[in-house]
Amino acid sequence: MSDHHLLGRFVRRFLLEEVVGDRNLTVNTQRSYRDTIRVLLRYLAERHSADPAQLTAEQLTANVVREFLGHLARERGNSAATCNQRLAAIRSLFRFMAREVPELVDHSAQIQAIPLRRAAVPSMTYLEKPEVDAVLAVPDRRRTMGRRNHALLLFLYNTGARASEAAQLTVGALTLDPPPAVRFVGKGRKTRVCPLWPDTARLLRELLGPDAADGPADAPVFRSIRGQPLTRYGVYALVRRSVAGAAEKACPSLHGRRISPHTLRHTTATHLLRAGVDPNTIRAWLGHVSLETTNRYAEVDLETKARALEACAITVPDRTPTWRKDRDLMAFLTSL
């Protein structure tokens, strides 16, 4: 087999040139592609005694990929969604190889033909307003970390930001003078601007201090206790702690529920919808690619459904004969 069909050379160029350079995918997507290839090569080395340095593209057949996906599901316990994510990365790698080497077009087409697994759509959970208030009340605002935690939780609810977007937020992305707003660069490098409530802007201004405007624009807004930028795992941990505290102190309805920063994102969308905000505005607010994603919130919100049902309700006319309503007449007839 000729050297230029060695898989290693394609992998290196795919990750550095295609994923990072040409497509400029987000860091999380880059890591997902890298991890997929790492798990795949480890599987081939253990199950097929294949040396990754000598593995060729032709050896990675459609059947081998199917076996790998089965291994992920059965032995690693991966969900259908995770298996589909891994398959998408492998498909992308083979599309790149097909463009580079025409002889691999048919081989790549066989990989592309592997169907995605059917994955159950997870139920979309959200919090009611009293539950949000209970979570926001948990941080001790007399302490520095408590003020940071409260500001971060309110920021998540205000903007519907993803955990990674909140963790990576910089001072330069904020406009705290009226009208206050924040600029996000979300999935697909798409930029969106979200308005901030006056209370959110005030808390962020207090958190950053009076000299924040004169500091570097790339300074992180939310920092750890050691002064380092907060990670998305730190955001997840904060939300979990706050929900547990709210469940223990004031809101039993939160007991046993798995609430994440993405739940707060769903909550923002649902509450905006209830307030009568146009779905297109919510789509732009949250950075959804498709309006279909935003419309899912209308499907799960019972209050919105109830209002729609009430608006469509018809009035059934009273068909009771008039003479039956006259009690005096009925009594007179009965006495005869």
* Catalytic sites, residue numbers: 162, 187, 262, 265, 288, 297
In contact, 220 and 170? CB cutoff 8 Å? yes
Nearest alpha-carbon partner for 37 in 71, 76, 88, 73? 88
Distances (CA, A) of 89 to 24, 32, 110, 210, 265: 15, 8, 15, 46, 27
Distances (CA, A) of 74 to 62, 67, 68, 83, 282: 18, 10, 10, 11, 39
Those residues with Cβ within 8 angstroms of residue 168's Cβ, 6 or more apart along the chain or in another chain: 220, 229
In contact, 167 and 222? CB cutoff 8 Å? yes
Phi, psi (degrees; rounded to nearest 5) at 170: -115, 165
CA dist 41 and 53 (Å) reads 10
CA dist 316 and 70 (Å) reads 58
The three-point CA angle 73-76-79 to 5° equals 45
CA dist 8 and 30 (Å) reads 17
Nearest alpha-carbon partner for 172 in 124, 128, 209, 220? 220
Those residues with Cβ within 8 angstroms of residue 192's Cβ, 6 or more apart along the chain or in another chain: 183, 184, 186, 284, 285, 287
Burial class (CB in 10 A: 0-12, 13-18, 19+), 75: exposed
Distances (CA, A) of 162 to 179, 252, 264, 268, 285: 22, 26, 9, 11, 12
CA dist 4 and 97 (Å) reads 11
